[in-house]
A and B are shown apart, each in its own frame.
Chain A
Amino acid sequence: MPEILQVQGLETQFRTREGVIHAVNGVSFSLKEGETLGIVGESGCGKSVTVMSMLRLIPSPPGKVTAGKALFQGRDLLTMSDEEIRHIRGAQISMVFQDPMTSFNPVLTIGRQVSEPLEVHMGLNQKQAEDRVAEMLAKVGIPNPKDRLNNYPHQFSGGMRQRVMIAMALVCNPQILIADEPTTALDVTIQAQIVDLVKRLRDELGMAIIWITHDLGVIAGLADRMAVMYGGFIIETAPVRDLYGHPTHPYTIGLLGSLPRMDEAGSRRLVSIDGLPPVLLEKPTYCPFAPRCKYAVERCWHENPPLMQVSPDHYSACWVDTETGRERS
């Protein structure tokens, strides 16, 4: 499959009263057509800022993308004109956000909001747009879609609102869907409904997905490939089975060990990662995970490891081979 998106060396900073926060520090990844990439990490690791930077959605000031490229079908999203990126956002690349409550305009009907991208990007008239919206709402499982067009966001439950948001994101048939923690605010049984829906739509429409989450459970059954972020860096990336089956970065190992699993027979003590995530007031010159790492060696405190290949298609940013505990040569 050809690559549809290539992000190279992306860096984003925020100016705050305390100083400059180095939120994203040189992130590179690519996405193939129809592929689902999971980006995982804890709050503040830079996962949302990465995709927002790529789509030029970072408010500036205080934020600024200071380096990097984001090539979509060969064209750099970061240098094209505002007019050009507007044609791409919401049409070819669209987004679903975490909070279905605050992402809609409360005073406009659902029909009006979901049809807006169609009128803007595809130049459909109101009647055509409404038919397409009703079709899309039916596809995401909203009962009586024609009647619901005139309802307002508050007349939908949380799960239903997230379905509407997905309908809005997919209404122009995008090539990439970016989902930023789309199920975090939902209950587990509703989360299962939404994940099921996204899988079905992916198989039907064939779009590529970037799914951002802090939950290693949700993404396990959904992603083809994973990228784990820490301190504004991607620290490990691999096909999903490889990453869960053979995690190599100490942070990934710790994260998987800290999760209790429902299918475990006995009860073991959870592996906790001592300490706290870094405050990114300086761009780290050494490994950002070193202060919390059991494996850290001298070199980790002097040099920030780049992503290194550990097996075909599996990359890890660590000076130590965690299987043997020895430093990589």
Chain B
Amino acid sequence: MTSTEVLLQVRDLVKHFPIMRGTLIQRQVGAVRAVDGVSFDVFHGETLGLVGESGCGKSTTGRAILQLYRPTSGSVIFEGVDLVGLKGEDLRKMRRRMQMIFQDPYASLNPRMTVGQIIGEPLIIHGIADRKEAQERAEELLRLVGLNPAYTNRYPHEFSGGQRQRVGVARALALQPAFIVCDEPISALDVSVQAQVVNLLEDLQAQMGLTYLFIAHDLSMVRHISNRIAVMYLGVVVELADRHELYNHPLHPYTQALLSAVPIPDPVIEARRQRIILKGDVPSPINPPSGCRFRTRCPLADTICAEQRPEFREVAPGHWVACHMV
């Protein structure tokens, strides 16, 4: 299913949000280092899972890849073209090839547009279809995501959360993209409905050969849907590996703690599980710890961890980790 052909290359991606002070004359007094040097590849036809806790920079990474946030530095090479610095028509052309599905199905659909207009709008913007064709295509897309094509004249409030998320998926598919960033697409949905949307995403991938970057904090769902998984902590990727490798042989102490913290819906297993309980909270990305970002909560931390930032290196084929102690 997946190949080793690289679709997307992210190199040293940095996104800092400036913190400004002053009313008339504003000056920068600091920065939120949301993403601070992230590199990975996404292969054709695969799903790369991006996990981490709130504030780790996973959503910012997704948005910076699509140029919804312009990166502070680094490069994002998609189908051979560096998107960083691309402007106007050149960027719009590339946007046809990559789309996004958002977390909140309530906030990401315009309440004043019918779902037919919402799904057809990208086609009109890119000059691919006129209004009538867009409407027809919207009906097709609704059918594809498992909704009644007669719903094109309805408004978002007439749908449930799961159905709205299907509309979001249909909109993302309208331009027949190669790559979709799914930013926590199921977090706002009830458990029984989550499975419906995940199954839909998997079916569409199989049918259309889509490539996903699947961003989530739910590790069991990420493991289910992904081929490979990258774990983020405080703006950096700390480990990246094939999903089986990552879950069976996690190397980074943060990955180990994160995996051990995920509850398993089985009381027999839960009764004999040993948890690694991390101390304290995630530090602020405004003033992250020197050296390794995880050292303040790490059970293995040593002096070198405060002095040097660990290199993100390949320790086994396809298994990357950033830790001095590995």
Contacts and interface: CB of A to CB of B under 8 A. Distances in A.
Chain A: number of interface residues, binned into ranges? 35 or more
Nearest to B279: A193
Given A189-B257, A221-B271, A160 B281 contact: yes
A241 B268 contact: yes
A187 B53 contact: yes
Interface stretch (A117-125, A201-209, A254-262, A321-329): A254-262
B2 interface: no
Interface string B234-273: 0000000000000100000000011111111111111101
Given A193-B277, A260-B220, A241 B54 contact: no
Contact of B194 (A191, A258, A261): A258
Contact of B190 (A190, A214, A223, A259): A214
Contacts of A273: 192-193, 195-196
A269 to B, nearest CB: 6
A281 B212 CA distance: 40
Interface string A195-231: 1100000000000000000111110110100000000
Contacts of A216: 191, 265
Contacts of B160: 276
Interface in B51-85: 53-54
Contacts, number: 125
Nearest to B275: A192
A244 B220 contact: no
A245 interface: yes
Given A188-B261, A259-B220, A220 B267 contact: yes
A191 B275 CA distance: 12
Interface in A224-275: 240-241, 244-245, 254-264, 267, 269-274
A294 B110 CA distance: 35
Given A159-B281, A244-B267, A217 B262 contact: yes
Given A221-B263, A245-B268, 16 more contacts: A42-B190, A187-B53, A189-B261, A191-B261, A220-B266, A220-B269, A221-B270, A244-B266, A255-B191, A257-B195, A259-B195, A260-B225, A262-B220, A272-B196, A273-B193, A276-B160
Interface of A: 42-43, 157, 159-160, 187-193, 195-196, 214-218, 220-221, 223, 240-241, 244-245, 254-264, 267, 269-274, 276-277
